[in-house]
Amino acid sequence: MRGPAIDLVLLTMLVLFIGIQQHARPLARNRLWFAGWVCFYLSYVVWEFQLAQPLLDGLREALRFDLLLLCQLIFVISFVTSAKSLRRVVLLGTVIGIPAVLVFNAWQVTDIPLALLVAAVVLWQVYGIYAVRRLDMRTWRLRRVLILCICVGYGAAFVAHLVWGGNPDMQNWVLAELLLFSAILFAADDQHHTVLGIMGTAGFLMWATFYLADAGVELKLLPGWLHWVGVFWNVPKYFVAFCMVLQMSEDARKEKEQLADRYRDLYEDFHLVFERNPHPMWIYSEQTSRFLSANRAALKAYGYAEQELLTMDVREMLADTAAEDLPDRPPAAASELGQSVRLHHRRKDSRVMVVDVTEHRMLFQGEAARFVLAVDVTEMERESRELLHRAHHDALTGLPNRHELDDRIDACLVRCERDHRMAALLTIDVDHFKQINDTYGHRVGDECLKAVAARLQSRIRQVDTLARSGGEEFMAIIGALQCAADARKIATMLLRIFAKPIELADLEIFITISIGVALFPDDSTDRETLKQMSDEALYEAKRSGRNMAVFAAQHGEPYLLSAGAENLPVA
């Protein structure tokens, strides 16, 4: 019985509406429902065509049946999309179902052997039993039991009628069975007790009942007056579509509620971590750089009250010239987001703290903002500087050590070469220092070394370097000299500053020094060669009687300076 053209319009609107719904929420089940209704719509379109030739009309009916069958199979699959073995079951069903469908299609066009038809029906039911047992339906065992009963009982009745009752309406029997499966599966485990689940199940049952009633009238198993029921044959499918649309809307509502719950949980977790985190954290506006929120650790670390801090600009916390370099950018804007940058922040009491700052973009109360984590590394920075100082300086005197001296010699020689000046490398040794240790002990000896370092340092310019190279030996690099005479004056001055004894508590200790001097570039332009020549000149000063300075000379005689003479040649 053909429906009016209004049904075609309604189905078109229905398919478009479900398509829009699944596009907005593209879940696997929603896409399958849309595909199923497209197949049903195409079957309706095919059904509306009238063909004069019986063969073509049979092919049309076969195509219509295939589209309806595909529609119902898609509906069945849509209810078990979460099953673990679904792909394997569908692949096997395609291999088994194609021959059975070909037999059903052939039945639409011509007579086929009864044995072949029975075999197709049996194969169809056996596959249904396999699929039910293979798919995981343990969440609701009653569904599994009902479908198994339908496969066995329905299939046995179908085969019995084929053998003893004649040729039934194959389309109605097959489609009604699939609709019964959908009716059972629609009552999902999370909604079978709800009104929506009951309505969907009832819709599929009514749809299946119409097919069974039509088949029963054709087989004269039911009275012919039931044909008038066909007037309402469109009602079940619209009822099912209405339930599917409601289910999609209900799923969307539940998803929004779950999303809202997750956001609320995330916010509560963030708020808990934010407030109780031991490190300072705050949020500020990207547009105004004003504080929007700060945790208790930030308030405690910086010494501000919450209301006071919320009136401030984050750039006001900077304690260095970075604020001038970032007039329109926040404190951590000098680095990429998510990367740590080390800054100096000023507390309310004007004390400076060193912090590692990390920023991330976020939305705070609908406003573009940045979340900042500041880790106080003031103590770690101090310890790091101290370790670095120890690595390059002598622990006793605080002077640069041999490694630091090498770097400074290289830098001094580069400057002198650039400025066309001379430099002097002095190796200084305390005379008879072993006797001081043996007489007064190593503790007094250490104090003497510290005093010697202080006296030498008092006569060395800040641009030059005095270093302790080991034991009682010191080295000095003096740059920017005009001539060798400047170096001799410096050596003489260093010798004379030890004319007075070193006073330590109740002790007065007389100390003299010996100096070896090498000149750049007169003696050499290489650091290691200058050091070697300076050491050799020091050895010469020791051998010649100590308390004097000896100048190395690559060309000519070396020069000797004593504490009482300015320029005496070596005898």
Annotated catalytic residues are 472
Q: How far apart are CA 350 and CA 294, in angstroms?
A: 20
For the CA atoms of 334, 337, 343, 347, the dihedral, rounded to the nearest 10 degrees, stands at 120
In angstroms and rounded to an integer, the radius of gyration of the C-alpha atoms of the chain is: 49
- Looking at 377-481, which runs of residues are DSSP E strands? 422-430, 465-470, 473-481
User: Which CA distances in Å does 183 have to 107, 279, 502?
Assistant: 27, 59, 108
Rounded CA separation 149/568 (Å): 125
d(CA 431, CA 514): 7
| Upper half-sphere CA count for residue 115 (Cβ side, 13 Å) | 0
* Sequence-separated (6 or more) residues with CB below 8 Å from residue 298: 280, 281, 282, 309, 374
Three-class DSSP labels, 284-301: EECCCCEEEEECHHHHHH
| Residue 517, SS3 per DSSP | strand
Is 150 in contact with 212 (CB distance < 8 Å)?
A: no
Beta bridge partners of 517: 426, 551
For residue 352, the one-letter residue type is V
